[in-house]
Chain A
Amino acid sequence: MGDVLPFHFQVVAALIFAIGALGVMLRRNMIVMFMSIELMLNAANLSLVAFSREIGNDQGQILAFIVMVVAAVEVAVGLAIIISLVRNRDTVNIEDTSQMKW
């Protein structure tokens, strides 16, 4: 086992971000898409904190906290939308909700 280098943190963050992005693009279940978004946000957080530690600047950590707050808020709003969607249309499939178009 070698040392854990800053580079490794970034690789992990990139992988998690890619998994999240693919999940958002490919899955049809809105709950799962939501979780994928959370993955992307946390990947970004990981990257921020890692860089912050590497260059000895606290700003990245502060930004990570802000992202968490925003993520929490987003979850609250997003889940509310999904719940009302389920109540009205009885579905969580994103393909069933494509009325907003030309």
Chain B
Amino acid sequence: MTEHENTALRWIPLLPLIAAALSGAWLVFGRRALPRVAVIALACGAPIASFAIAVVQVFKLALETALPPDAPYYSDNLYTWISAGDFHAELAFLLDPLSAVMVLVVTGVGSLIHIYSVGYMDDDHREDRGFQRFFAYLNLFTFSMLMLILGDNLLVMFVGWEGVGVCSYLLIGFWYLDDANAAAGQKAFVVNRIGDFGFLLGIFLLFWSFAQAGLPTVEFREMSANVGLLAERTVALPGWLSFLPGFPTWGLLTLACLCLFVGACGKSAQIPLYVWLPDAMAGPTPVSALIHAATMVTAGVYMVCRMSFAYSLAPGAQATVAWTGALTAFFAATIGLAQTDIKKVLAYSTVSQLGYMFLAAGVAAYSAAIFHVMTHAFFKALLFLGAGSVILGMHHQQDITKMGGLRRRMPVTWATFLVGVIAIAGVPPFSGFFSKDEILLAANQAHAIPGHQALWAIGMATAFLTAFYMFRLYFLVWSGESRADHHTQASIHESGKWVLVPLCVLALFSVIGGFFGLPDAYGDLFGVQRSNSLHHFLQPVVHSAEHEISHATEFRLAALTTCVGLAGIALATVMYFWRRDLAAKLAAAIRPLYALVRDKYRIDELYDAAIVRPLRALSSSLLSRGVDQGLIDGLAVNGTAKLVRASADGALKYLQSGFAQSYLVAMLLGGVLLVAWLVRGS
């Protein structure tokens, strides 16, 4: 028993699993659905209890003096899961500062979204037991996500990683009777599988190389302590890859980190695997908030931060992460400019914000990445839930060109939504400002990354676009005259308490969330030492790069960021509030470009033509008709039967003459031959 052991940890993931298993088993074996109040108690109780346990344990972790300050962590070892020779993989949970922050976000924001879902799913009568099924999936998701976060080795993390993928698929296609929803779920699953393949290769590569170095392990703390063993190792590239930079050898860690990053690209919707996330909006809105904004999609960022010890030794991988993140941030933000579906705007905004997080992780500002994960979870969950409230009030109308003037009809949703919009636009002192500013500062100072000034510029441009499209969304939904039809207009209503309370809590955290990681420069103004508590809390685990710049420079950069954000807001105000005709005129003036952006650069069509269709054609012609129907069905299965029938029909059946004596002759001949064989040679 060491001071690191803590058996309370297991209950954090187990409680949602138990809730999911109970209501799931009841769905399968029970004769009718559980009473609603039981479903609510079970489904909301589990994550809330997990949250309570997590809060207590995280406080213990932060305040316990018995733990070494350079490596504070708790672990909970359930049993040895895989044991082969020297290799042992435990089913064990690890609570260190990094997982602590994530656990609090997932269980905290998750609990709020569970509560919200009670209100949101209340009027859904498409299916008898849908309510219970929804919460069973939601709890299962929470369990998987907590496994992902708390797993103390790559294998447990991978279990959670796949689990959240499955739950995401199930929940996107929750209303599966509509083919489009089912197709969206499938798309998410398939695209994620592509990423998961890379992730698996990364795990294999790391395990293989650690085993070669005499230390077969996939455990994070062990790998982190011994990553130096692999620092100098290289792999030779095959000749046809000679166009790659660094040919003919790559650092082993660079390759492993790139493989892992492919997985992160899938899960966290980065170029080129981002296409599933906008489609995932087919799921119920609380799902979009929980899975596709606040928690699951940040798993890739978390994984990169968790593996930061490896990324820090792989500059090529770091640059790739940073550039992918920055380009995704900008690219998705431009698509967000022209979308008209309220959830699609938020979806592209999520892709864009995830890009920011990868930009931060790529420039080794891991604590900034996690900081943005946290603040983004607050304000993006808030925005999605607000959008859900609007969708409820508008009777499942999602087109923002048919909204407008909702401010007086839904005052609470309006106020909280406005908070979310301001937070994401980066207006101080809202939470989004501090986290985004820290990322941009880190990009500005990342001298080790090639083209870091360009990264910073792209980040600034994205900040401008973000402020613009979010306020475009805000004005189109809330201000002006209502553009809905009369029937809808008459019945627009504010949502109930179940919906509004989570909105208010999230709005509060969207305002104050930034102060958890208030940069030291600001703290000094008010005489607070080490005010960036999040950064200092995370530092023992992630070893973010430290910047030696004066506070004055930091403030100048922050002022610039703020101005850029305000400029975006101002432009949106002009175009969508004061001079509404401007937007339409501008769109008409640059029609081809506008249409291209509105159609999401037709990337889906490109993938369809370049990958999906050729693959389908190959499958249906060669694999299905050729190999499956031709070779396996035709030749192997039916061919055998046909051969037997033809040979029997043509010749062999005449052996069965029916004359007993001809059988006897055959038998005796056989006996003679047998004896002759036995006595041969003697």
In-complex Cβ contact of A94 among B654, B656, B659, B668 (8 A): B659
B658, A98: Cβ atoms under 8 Å?
Answer: yes
Q: Does chain A have a CB within 8 A of B66?
A: no
**What's the nearest-Cβ distance from chain A to residue B650, in Å?**
12
Given the complex, which residues of B lie within 8 Å of A24, measured CB to CB? Answer: 661, 664
Residue of A nearest to B660 (CB): A94
How far apart are the CA atoms of A94 and B662 in the complex, in Å?
A: 11
Is B660 within 8 A of A25, CB to CB?
no
Return chain A residues, CB-CB under 8 Å to B668: 21, 25
Chain B neighbourhood of A98, CB < 8 A:
657-660
Against A, the Cβ 8 Å flags (1 = close, 0 = not) of B636-677 are 000000000000000001101111110011001000000000
Q: A102 contacts B659, CB within 8 Å? A: no
Q: Are B665 and A25 in contact, with the CB atoms below 8 A?
A: yes
- Say if the beta carbon of A95 comes within 8 Å of chain B: yes
Asked if A99 meets B658 with Cβ closer than 8 Å, knowing A21-B668, A25-B668, the reply is yes
Q: Which residue of B lies closest to A97 (CB)?
A: B660
With A95-B659, A98-B659: A25-B664 Cβ-Cβ less than 8 Å: yes
Cα A89 to Cα B653 in complex, Å, equals 26
Contact indicator B665/A102 (Cβ below 8 Å): no
Bound CA–CA A102/B653 (angstroms): 6
CB distance from B678 to the nearest CB of A (A): 16
**Whole-angstrom distance from the CB of A91 to the nearest CB of chain B?**
13
Residues of A within 8 A of B659 (CB): 94-95, 98
Quick one: closest A residue to B665, CB to CB?
A: A25
Q: Mark A66-102, 1 if CB is under 8 A from B, else 0.
A: 0000000000000000000000000000110111111
**What CA separation (Å) do A100 and B653 show in the bound complex?**
12
Nearest opposing residue in chain A for B657, CB measure:
A101
Q: How far is the CA of A95 from the CA of B654 in the complex (A)?
A: 17
Q: Is A102's CB under 8 angstroms from B660's CB?
A: no
Closest chain-B Cβ to A79's Cβ sits at a distance in Å of 16
Q: How far apart sit A100 and B659, CA to CA, in the bound complex (Å)?
A: 8
A-side binding surface: helix, strand, loop or mixed?
Answer: loop
Find chain B residues with CB under 8 A from A99 CB. 658
Most A CB contacts (10 A, CB to CB) among B653, B659, B661 go to B661
Give A102 to B656 CA distance when docked, in angstroms: 6
Distance in angstroms between the alpha carbons of A102 and B648 in the assembled complex: 10
Q: Are B661 and A101 in contact (CB under 8 A)?
A: no
> Could you say which interface size class chain B belongs to?
10 to 19
For A26, the closest partner residue in chain B by CB is B661
B658 touches A101 (CB 8 A): yes
CB distance from B668 to the nearest CB of A (A): 6
* Chain B min CB distance to A50 (Å): 18
Within 8 A of A (CB), among B606-622: none
Question: Are B661 and A94 touching (Cβ within 8 A)?
Answer: yes
Q: Are A100 and B664 in contact (CB under 8 A)?
A: no
A25 to B668: give the CA distance in the assembly, Å: 9
Shortest distance in angstroms between B12's beta carbon and chain A's nearest beta carbon? 73
Interface centre among A24, A95, A102 (most CB of B within 10 A): A102
Query: Distance (Å) between the CB of B130 and the closest chain A CB?
Result: 61
Q: B661: which A residues are within 8 A, CB to CB?
A: 24-25, 94
A102 engages B664 (CB within 8 Å): no
User: Closest A-chain residue to B672, C-beta based?
Assistant: A21
Closest chain B CB from A4 CB (angstroms): 25
B653: nearest residue on chain A (CB-CB)?
A: A102
A13 to B654 Cα, complex, angstroms = 36
For B653, list chain A residues within 8 Å (CB): 102
A80 to B408, CA, bound (A): 104
The interface residues of chain A lying within 8 Å CB-to-CB of B660 are 94, 97-98
A99 to B658, CA, bound (A): 6
Alpha-carbon gap, A94 to B656, bound state (A): 15
A25 to B656, CA, bound (A): 17
> In the complex, what residues of B have CB within 8 A of residue A95's CB?
659
Q: Which residues in A have their C-beta under 8 angstroms from that of B664? A: 24-25
CA distance A102 to B659 in the complex (A): 12
Contact flags (1/0) for A18-40 with B, using CB distance below 8 Å? 00010011000000000000000
Q: How far is the CA of A102 from the CA of B664 in the complex (A)?
A: 18
Tell me the bound Cα distance from A100 to B658 in angstroms: 5
Instruction: For chain B, residues 255 to 299, give those with C-beta under 8 angstroms from any C-beta of chain A.
Output: none
Alpha-carbon distance between A102 and B655 when the two chains are bound, in angstroms: 9
Docked CA distance A40–B449 (Å): 98
Q: CA of A63 to CA of B253 in the docked complex: distance in angstroms?
A: 78
Chain B residues near A102: list those with CB within 8 A. Answer: 653-654, 656
The distance in angstroms between the C-alpha atoms of A24 and B656, with both chains bound, is 19
A95 to B659, CA, bound (A): 7
CB distance from A20 to the nearest CB of B (A): 11
Produce 1/0 per residue, B15-58, CB < 8 A to A. Answer: 00000000000000000000000000000000000000000000
Residue of B nearest to A30 (CB): B660
For A21, the chain B residues whose CB sits under 8 A away are: 668
A98 to B656, CA, bound (A): 10
Residues of B close to A100: CB separation below 8 A = 658
Closest to B671 in A: A21
Q: In whole angstroms, how far apart are the Cα atoms of A100 and B657 in the complex?
A: 8
| Distance to closest chain B CB from A65 (angstroms) | 23
Chain A residues with CB below 8 A from B657, complex form: 98, 101
Closest Cβ neighbor of B658 among chain A residues: A101
| Chain B residue at minimum C-beta to C-beta distance from A37 | B664
Q: How far is the CA of A72 from the CA of B654 in the complex (A)?
A: 34
A101 and B653 CA atoms in complex are apart in Å by 8
Distance between B672 CB and nearest chain A CB, rounded to angstroms: 10
* Docked pose: A99 CA to B657 CA in angstroms: 9
In angstroms, how far is the closest chain B Cβ from the Cβ of A34? 12
A-chain residues with CB within 8 Å of residue B665 when the two chains form the complex: 25
Residues of A near B654 (CB, < 8 A) are 102
Kindly list the 9 A-B residue pairs having the minimum CB-CB distance in the complex, ordered from nearest: A101-B658, A98-B658, A102-B653, A101-B656, A98-B659, A100-B658, A102-B656, A94-B660, A101-B657
Binding site for A on B (CB under 8 A): 653-654, 656-661, 664-665, 668
- 19 A-B pairs besides A24-B664, A102-B654, A102-B656 with CB distance below 8 A are A21-B668, A25-B661, A25-B664, A25-B665, A25-B668, A94-B659, A94-B660, A94-B661, A95-B659, A97-B660, A98-B657, A98-B659, A98-B660, A99-B658, A100-B658, A101-B656, A101-B657, A101-B658, A102-B653
24 contacts between A and B (CB under 8 A): A21-B668, A24-B661, A24-B664, A25-B661, A25-B664, A25-B665, A25-B668, A94-B659, A94-B660, A94-B661, A95-B659, A97-B660, A98-B657, A98-B658, A98-B659, A98-B660, A99-B658, A100-B658, A101-B656, A101-B657, A101-B658, A102-B653, A102-B654, A102-B656
